[in-house]
Amino acid sequence: MFTFCKKDNNIPDVSVNIALHLTDPDFITLQTIGNYVYINGGVCGIVVYRKNNEEFSAIDQCCPYKIEKKYKVWVDSTNIYLICEHCNSSYSIYDGSYISGPSKKSLKTYKTTFDQHDMILYIHN
């Protein structure tokens, strides 16, 4: 299953080609729907969120507001939103879509492909 990159933000394009083994202790929480992890990659790091049995989201942590500052978004206490601590813009953890705040733009997302047999999540663009 694929999640396609959004083009309505100003986040720079960087090459992303990551394989996460969900049996690895660092990523085992992704075996449960609704859990997330932060990983290195992208522009400012990537939040990986498990949507359902087959789908994941991979969202760059770089807030599109004042891109030159490279402010990061973080998952809030509800595990539903990504929030920029600097500008207070909020986004959906499900797909990186803009919700509120001065940003007015969605977060950059990366494609995901899940190999259920080998329990490997591929994140790429």
85: left (phi over 0), alpha (psi -120 to 50) or beta: alpha
Q: Which of 4-13, 35-44, 69-78, 103-112 has the lowest mean pLDDT?
A: 4-13
Q: Given strand 56-60, what is the order of strands in its sheet?
A: 17-21, 120-124, 109-115, 56-60, 46-50, 36-39
Rg of the chain, C-alpha, whole Å = 14
pLDDT reported for residue 30: 97
Amino acid at position 4, single letter: F
Domain count of the fold of the chain: 1
Residue 42 in any domain: the answer is yes
DSSP 29: G
Write out the residue range of the structural domain in which residue 40 sits.
17-124
Query: Which pTM value belongs to this model?
Result: 0.90
- Residue 63, domain member (yes or no): yes
pLDDT tens for 40-92 read: 999 999 999 999 999 999 999 999 998 888 999 999 999 999 999 899 999 99
> How confident is the model over 53-62, as pLDDT tens digits?
999 999 999 9
CATH of the domain at 85: 2.102.10.10
How far is C-alpha 13 from the chain's CA centre? 15
